[in-house]
Structure 1
Amino acid sequence: MWRSYAEDEDILREIVKDYLLNEGFGVLEAADGKEALTIFEKHEVHLMILDIMLPELDGWSICRRVRKTSNVPIIMLTARADEDDTLLGFELGADDYVTKPYSPPILLARVKRLIESRYSSAGKVSTEDILSSNGIHVHIPSRTVTVDGEIINLTYTEFEILTYLMQNQGIILTREQLIIKIWGYEFAGDDRTVNSHIRNLRHKLGHKATCIVTVVRSGYKFEGNL
């Protein structure tokens, strides 16, 4: 599997590349945004790591363009700790967000989590791998979602949230539970992160968006009989 890694600081890019290569991952690297977008268009990329502050074309612009055609997992890197920057990345479809300075082993763990969840279940099917309610059908091994028979394209994180909600249909899940389940205990985001992804997910579900119910001061739940 190829990972595309765009970082304008040569030393940091080499360090992260070495960590990925040592774990057996293939790496395609870019020093600026235009080069990163060209790599994505010419190769089958299975995950992208994007620095936001790239020359030529910033990480946000790349994420926006990639999301027009692909749901490949995307991790954003930034030296900026502004929470609004994080939310913008999620609004554009990023799956995870790591703030510099960061530990390469931590970044590697995030990569493994996304890759293993995204690809390891391929070809393994059981009755528990198929969720269906109120016209929404989820096939977990292929990560395919249909609404009334029409395929909708979800990002890695949107898919994980929808699956988790449907697996716990009728049960209120707090925002903290969602953060721990989707991003892990070490995630530094706040409630607005979850709200942003839920908003994007509802938009893609269209007229089925009402299946995801907001429970004031509690969290969210999936109701399939609305």
Structure 2
Amino acid sequence: MNYHIAVIEDDKNIQNIVSAFLKKEGYQVSVMDSAEKGIKLWKSNPPDMWIVDIMLPGMDGYEFCKRIRNESEVPIIIISAKDEEIDKILGLELGGDDYLTKPFSPRELMARIKRIFKRYRPVETEPKHEEQVIADELVIDKSDRRVFWIGKEQEVTTKEFDMLLLFAENVNRAFSREELLLSVWGEDYFGSDRAVDDLVKRIRKKLKDIPLETVWGFGYRLRGNKEE
């Protein structure tokens, strides 16, 4: 697949180097020098991945990641001269999938891009199986990755889908935050478990009255009509 990657970076030299390496790998590339231009691209021709600098004129990379992550789970790689641990944690908690400190090797960036695409697009190499998971009013079509709540289809992100599927396949089972991080975000994630709470909050907002319960001091579970 010919992926489209957008680069938001105000350093012309880095723009040129990253763009050249991406094109050499066969990717479609869009390059811009501000987050505001990135938002316009997102609305008109959303890419398959973002590579975003933190220190930008106007809107910074943190705010940009937050805005994109509120709408989508599209992969985001953050590049920054900030190398403090707190900066990396903040970037990952706001939605970054990876964090690369300047100066960096373009070859390392290419390797990380390939690894992320491999993780985010596994369904392309797997055969489709028609299968639905039904948990009372929640219906999930696994093959087409569609979610229906009380008979109406819902627009959900990749991680929202993955979490809902996990709960629907395990009704009434309580999952700890650590289990949810491992199942939904994977072993590579090393940010705070607050990401779980944020994702649950988004699901509850989209799927009104879904019986997704908080298990205090532990995690969450999807309550069903019948106890197992």
Number of the residue aligned with 2:134: 132
Aligned length: 213
Q: Give the distance between the partners of 1:214 and 1:36, measured in 2 at CA.
A: 36
Number of the residue aligned with 2:223: 223
Match of 1:163 among 162, 165, 168: 165
CA contact (8 A) 2:130 2:142 kept: no
Residue 21 of structure 1 and its aligned partner are, at CA, apart by 4.2
Please list the CA deviations of residues 136-188 of structure 1 after superposition, one character each: whole Å capped at 9, or x if unmatched.
22223333222112232222222222122222223332222222222222221
CA RMSD of aligned residues (A): 3.2
Matched position secondary structure for 2:97: strand
Which aligned pairs between 1:198-209 and structure 2 lie closer than 5 A? Answer: 198-208=200-210
Q: Give the distance between the partners of 1:54 and 1:72, measured in 2 at CA.
A: 22
Number of the residue aligned with 1:38: 40
Q: Give the distance between the partners of 2:198 and 2:92, measured in 1 at CA.
A: 10
Structure 2: runs of 5+ lacking an equivalent? none
Residue 51 of structure 1 and its aligned partner are, at CA, apart by 3.3
Q: Give the distance between the partners of 1:13 and 1:167, measured in 2 at CA.
A: 45
Q: Give the distance between the partners of 2:5 and 2:171, measured in 1 at CA.
A: 35
CA contact (8 A) 1:138 1:163 kept: yes
Number of the residue aligned with 1:147: 149
Greater gyration radius: 2
CA contact (8 A) 1:98 1:107 kept: no
Which aligned pairs between 1:89-108 and structure 2 lie closer than 5 A? Answer: 89=94, 94=95, 96-101=96-101, 103-104=108-109, 105-108=111-114
Q: Give the distance between the partners of 2:174 and 2:69, measured in 1 at CA.
A: 30
Q: Give the distance between the partners of 1:168 and 1:16, measured in 2 at CA.
A: 44
Which aligned pairs between 1:32-71 and structure 2 lie closer than 5 A? Answer: 32-63=34-65, 66=68, 71=72
Q: Give the distance between the partners of 2:69 and 2:153, measured in 1 at CA.
A: 16
Q: Give the distance between the partners of 1:146 and 1:132, measured in 2 at CA.
A: 10
The amino acid across from 1:111 in the alignment is F
Identity %: 23
Residue 22 of structure 1 and its aligned partner are, at CA, apart by 5.1
Structure 1: runs of 5+ lacking an equivalent? none
Residue 189 of structure 1 and its aligned partner are, at CA, apart by 0.8
Is 1:75 the counterpart of 2:37? The answer is no
Q: Which of 181-190 and 1-10 deviates more?
A: 1-10
Match of 2:180 among 159, 178, 187: 178
